[in-house]
Structure 1
Amino acid sequence: MNTRPQSVPWKLYQRVPVAAGEIATAVFGEGPPVVLVHGTPACSYLWRNVVPTLARHHTVHVWDLLGFGESRIAPGAVPSIAQQAHTLAELVAHWGLTEPSLVGHDIGGGIVLRAHLIEQVPTAGIALLDAAVIGPWNTPFTEHQQRYAEAYRRMPPDVFADIITARLRTATYRPMTDADTAAYLAPWTGAEGQMRWIDQVCAVSFKDTQDVVARLDRIIAPTLVLWGQEDQWLRLAVGDRLAAAIPGAQRATIPGAGHFLTEDQPQDAADALVDFFGRHRP
């Protein structure tokens, strides 16, 4: 079923200073708080078609990771999973949230788990969407960029743009529109965007989730592991392993969805989150 709605305008108007930079953020709706954490190479645009449904039931907090989207990272800071998790803890404190539900996609899954298990951010529930947690989880493309980072940095920007555009288009099961592709690529355009892309690629390592993996059996919060059935970046078996490692985790799959499951099937993803958090509300 084609459930992808027409994309809505998306802009984060609030800015929050944090230790490692400045975060672009926004808050929608009213109700029990939910924090949405995107992964790489996305930004909060990933959630635009999920937020309207969630916001009918929850206060929804969205943000761009350090060095992603409209957020800016301080000179010398590294946009690692560990740093992003610390930033998430700062934001939860800034928002005055005592026990928010946490949703993480891709490396956002590793970020929310590290924020909970290492940074001690309390949570009422966790949802992990096509999540990079149990390593090694870097794709061959990411590993190639890390191995030849300087070559990618020196690459002509138009050639680099062609490469990452082709890569981005494999994140969905159904073809992404040109407008949505352009929105995802906008933060990475030009020479500056190219450097930002390589900076975040070089900072991403499953070493930042090793401490998390060692503590997965300590999770007592209700947990949903939700996967796109057609994910070509992190296969279904990765989700199965993750769910098996978390006590009592619920495992669900969304048909007709790739790695960017909220792009392919946003309504199904939103409904799954509303249903899960509604059934496990404190």
Structure 2
Amino acid sequence: MNSNTTVVDGITMRWEEAGDGMPVILIHGIPASPALWRHVVPRISGARCLAWEMVGYGASIPEGHDRDISIGRQADYLASWLKHLGVEQAIFVGHDLGGGVAQIAAVRNPGLCRGLFLTNAIGYDSWPIPSVKAMRMAGGLVRHLPDSVFKQVFQNFIKRGHDDSVRAEEAIDAHWPNYRDHGGAAAFVRQVKSLDVQDTLSIAGDLPSLGIPARIVWGVADTFQKIDYGERFASDLSAPLQRIEGGKHFTPEDHPEIIAEGINQLVAEVSISDTSDGKA
């Protein structure tokens, strides 16, 4: 993937890009970055993949200072970025917090989202998870943790969400440097303090009326985002649900071939729909 930056409304936005064809927007969660999709994007065909970095996350942590980095606001940042790039329609792919961003952006911008793919995503009242709530409540203490201590917290969090221990270590190497270089525990506390469950509750009732192709892929053993929520998404979006038995939270890293296969199927479905509608 190629790294890119542009300035939108005074905010430096970053993304990784590869391929050509239908735009597919991949949105990470916490405590990740676009690197979450590093093994997924090479397996996607017939699409222009753009792995967007949320404002205040990853290498963009500094852009979050003195800005609203809530999930609801991220959806607005995403829409503004797509408009800036001239992308009029795209498939949204979201994991964890990124799934919440994708849902909100789809509801708020009719016609922008041509297809929705969710994997172990937040939604409804599924978040913030208890460990994140605890860190938010103890934010005054957590933010002052030295990097050596916070890294242990970070590593434990990552490992709990992986069923592949090798990929877990790789994920730590991929995502930790962003915290090490941009504020450590204080940056993480700023992120968790921005989380508001009302952002997804406010649009939950609109999901059944989106009327777009959708697919749900879920790690069944995820203790962060339970399979019950994957089933609820599948019902509300009239979408097939693929269960990854034994899969935990970080499915794009542990099971990239399954995630990419699902995205490819959605790209094909949307392409067929566009052709039948005379859009291609």
- Normalized against structure 2, the TM-score is what? 0.90
2:263 maps to which residue?
Answer: 273
Range with bigger deviation, 12-21 or 73-82: 12-21
Range with bigger deviation, 26-35 or 182-191: 182-191
1:252 matched to 2:242: yes
Counterpart amino acid of 2:101?
A: I
Cα distance in 2, alignment partners of residues 198 and 48 from structure 1? 26
1:187 matched to 2:178: yes
For 1:68, which of 57, 67, 71 is the aligned residue? 57
1:238 matched to 2:229: yes
SS state at 1:73 partner: helix
Cα distance in 2, alignment partners of residues 121 and 147 from structure 1? 39
* Deviation by residue 1:217-243 (Cα, 9 ceiling, x = unmatched): 221111112111221211111111222
- Normalized against structure 1, the TM-score is what? 0.90
For 2:79, which of 69, 82, 89 is the aligned residue? 89
* Deviation by residue 1:59-113 (Cα, 9 ceiling, x = unmatched): 1111211111122425310211011101110121122112111111111111011
> Following TM superposition, by how much is the alpha carbon of 1:120 offset from its aligned partner in structure 2, in angstroms?
4.0
For 2:27, which of 37, 41, 47 is the aligned residue? 37
SS state at 2:183 partner: helix
Contact 2:144/2:185, CA 8 A, preserved across alignment: no
Counterpart amino acid of 1:65?
A: M
Cα distance in 1, alignment partners of residues 26 and 18 from structure 2? 11
SS state at 2:216 partner: strand
SS state at 2:217 partner: strand
Contact 1:89/1:121, CA 8 A, preserved across alignment: no
Question: Structure 1: which 5+ residue stretches go unaligned?
Answer: 1-9
> Following TM superposition, by how much is the alpha carbon of 1:255 offset from its aligned partner in structure 2, in angstroms?
3.1
Contact 1:101/1:123, CA 8 A, preserved across alignment: yes
Equivalence map 1:210-225=2 (5 Å)? 210-225=201-216
Name the Cα RMSD after superposition.
Answer: 1.8
* Deviation by residue 1:33-72 (Cα, 9 ceiling, x = unmatched): 1111111111111101111121x31011112111111224
Counterpart amino acid of 2:42?
A: P
Cα distance in 1, alignment partners of residues 182 and 212 from structure 2? 43
Range with bigger deviation, 248-257 or 195-204: 248-257
> Following TM superposition, by how much is the alpha carbon of 1:121 offset from its aligned partner in structure 2, in angstroms?
5.7
For 1:159, which of 149, 164, 174 is the aligned residue? 149
Structure with bigger helix share is 2
Identity of aligned residues (%): 25
Equivalence map 1:5-84=2 (5 Å)? 13-19=3-9, 21-54=11-44, 56-71=45-60, 72-84=62-74
* Deviation by residue 1:156-194 (Cα, 9 ceiling, x = unmatched): 332222112111111111213534312121111267122
